[in-house]
Amino acid sequence: MPSAEPSLALRARIPLAPLSTLGVGGEARWFVRAERLDDVVAAHRWCLERNVTMLVLGGGSNLVMADEGIDGLVLQIALRGVEFSAQGEETVLCARAGEPWDDVVAASVSRGLAGFECLSGIPGSVGGTPIQNVGAYGQEVSDTLDAVTVFDRQSGEIVSLSARACRFAYRKSRFKQDDAGRFIVCEVRCRLRPGPPTITYPDVITYLEQHATTSPRLADVRRAVLAIRRRKGMVVDPADPDTRSVGSFFMNPVVPVGVHARISAAYADGPVPGFALPSGEIKIPAAWLIEHAGLSRGDRCGRAAISSKHPLAIVNLGGATARDVLKLAVLVKRSVANRFGIWLHPEPVFAGFRHDADVEFLERAGGDRGG
Ligand SMILES: Cc1cc2nc3c(=O)[nH]c(=O)nc-3n(C[C@H](O)[C@H](O)[C@H](O)COP(=O)(O)OP(=O)(O)OC[C@H]3O[C@@H](n4cnc5c(N)ncnc54)[C@H](O)[C@@H]3O)c2cc1C
């Protein structure tokens, strides 16, 4: 075993399943919990000098880790600290990457600051939010994000990237696509303003109407979003096995109007739902496609199942392997493609899989694999 940097609390053979919300995955060969910026830099150097790969871990809520584990160093980001500072009509929020995201949302809402209320209940860390530009119920983190402070593993420097430089799109950013693995997010800076809350999503509107909330405040919208999410198993709750997941396993496909029209024309049992986007394209709910492709809640592969509360979530019934999860995801993708000709794209990041046919199939934009 190579000797560690003096400042680096390096551990070996750490089980990863308990560090992820899905609860699958083998061991990390090496593991470091970074509580200071120095730990991030030292871990990077340690990997560089020994030619060891690095996986950055936040809350583990968007990761499927291989049963074989991670043959490299897993760097858990545990940088803490949150500051709110008034700047004219705005409040600038600086949060270190290891802060639990929902704590930051709760703190913002309690200060009367709008921008995050619809992102209530999303698990994981602050540093995980820019990776896939988290979004829910009509808000995305890119709506308020001003800049991120990152450690650039290419240059070995700490730099600030503006929101524009992050290249955000629907569940995308340069951190997840073109520059995957290059940057370690250390701090996120957002600009927030006093209310009113964002209320655009039908589920939220209906909930507020049913609860006779006539002039909803930020806290009412947070409460509504949390209640709606709990019904769908989308708030992590150790007592609810339907929340042992990565949330939505697939993104909602965005298709040209003509494709939506073609599918609707071919589908005899009624209209195929779709939401027009400003781009002119149509977003089709992946949950609807799954339920209309012959799959049902509770369908299983080994100990992985389609959630009984939401067809978009694949849950670990207890004792599932990463392979069970992949097999079920492949079945879902194949069934939707066979029925509608649409190739669903997975939302979570797959880590530790090498030349894996299931992962390659899931990540493929289209086309097919025999068998
Ligand atoms: C029940 C449930 C509900 C969910 N609902 C939503 C939802 O409504 N909307 C939504 O968008 N997502 C949702 N998610 C997905 C997930 O919670 C988010 O994507 C979250 O932001 C991931 O953060 P994390 O810290 O857990 O990241 P992890 O899962 O630890 O990591 C995910 C990816 O980000 C990278 N990463 C993490 N932290 C850093 C960092 N500091 N620097 C560089 N890279 C980093 C990792 O290397 C990995 O590639 C849900 C998940 C669950 C389990």
Residue nearest (by alpha carbon) to ligand 1 atom 18: 62
- Of the candidates 358, 353, 313, 351, the one whose C-alpha atom is nearest the C-alpha of residue 58 is 351
| 88, HSE (Cβ side, Cα atoms, 13 Å) | 1
Q: Is 226 found in the same domain as 115?
A: yes
CA distance 50 to 348: 28
Same domain for 204 and 120: yes
How many A from CA of 164 to the centre of ligand 1? 20
pLDDT of residue 195: 82
Number of the ligand 1 atom closest to the C-alpha atom of 126: 25
Helix intervals (H) in the chain: 37-50, 101-110, 202-210, 218-231, 257-266, 286-291, 322-340, 357-363
Domain interval for residue 302: 241-363
Q: How many domains, the chain?
A: 3
Nearest CA to ligand 1 atom 15: 62
Residue 51 in contact with residue 30, Cβ under 8 Å? Answer: no
Nearest CA to ligand 1 atom 32: 62
256 and 347 assigned to the same domain? yes
Measured between alpha carbons, how far is residue 69 from residues 2, 29, 322 in Å?
Answer: 20, 8, 10
Q: Are residues 148 and 263 in the same domain?
A: no
Assign residue 203 the CATH number of its domain: 3.30.465.10
For residue 6, what pLDDT is reported? 55
If asked whether residues 145 and 218 sit together in one domain, one would say: yes
My answer on whether 39 and 112 are in the same domain is: no
Is residue 317 a contact partner of residue 243, using CB atoms and an 8 Å limit? no
On whether both 150 and 175 belong to a single domain, the answer is yes
- Record the tokens describing residue 46, joined without a space: 């340690």
With the most atoms of ligand 1 within 8 angstroms of its CB, the residue from 40, 122, 153, 187 to mutate is 122
Any atom of ligand 1 within 6 Å of the Cβ of 91: no
Q: Is residue 122 part of a domain?
A: yes
C-alpha to C-alpha distances, 25 to 34, 53, 175, 230, 350, nearest whole angstrom: 21, 17, 23, 25, 10
Query: Is the residue at 301 inside a domain?
Result: yes
- Index of the ligand 1 atom closest to the CA of residue 77: 41
Residue 2 covered by a domain = no
The answer as to whether 45 is a domain residue is yes
State the maximum Cα–Cα separation within the chain, in Å, rounded to a whole number. 67
DSSP 11-63: EEEEE-GGGSSS----EEEEEEEE-SHHHHHHHHHHHHHHT--EEEESSSSSE
Q: Report the CATH number at residue 351.
A: 3.90.78.10
CB atoms within 10 A of CB 344: 25
How high is the mean pLDDT of the chain? 94
Q: Which of 212, 231, 250 is the endpoint of a domain?
A: 231
Most informative mutation of 79, 131, 187, 315 for ligand 1 (most atoms within 8 A of CB):
131
CATH code at position 62: 3.30.43.10
Domain check: are 270 and 317 in the same one?
Answer: yes
Q: Residue 279 burial by CB count (10 A; 0-12/13-18/19+): exposed, middle or buried?
A: exposed
Is 78 near ligand 1, meaning CB less than 6 Å away? no
CB of 234 shorter than 6 A to ligand 1: yes
197 and 70 assigned to the same domain: no
The answer on pLDDT for 230 being more than 80 is: yes
Of the three residues 200, 231, 262, the one that is the final residue of a domain is 231
**125-160 pLDDT, tens digit each:** 999 999 999 999 999 999 999 999 999 999 999 999
Task: Give a yes or no: residue 35 inside a domain.
Answer: yes
- Give the pLDDT band of residue 213 (cuts 50, 70, 90): confident
Q: Which two tokens stand for residue 69?
A: 């584990």
| Shared domain check, 195 and 109 | yes
Residues acting as catalytic residues:
171, 248, 347
In a shared domain, residues 326 and 301: yes
Q: Quick: pLDDT tens for 234-289.
A: 999 999 999 999 999 999 999 999 999 988 888 877 789 999 988 899 999 999 99
Quote the pTM value: 0.95
Q: How far is the CA of 128 from the centre of ligand 1 (A)?
A: 5
Is residue 41 within 8 A of residue 151, CB to CB? The reply is yes
Residue nearest to atom 50 of ligand 1 (CA): 247
Note whether 227 and 246 are same-domain residues.
Answer: no
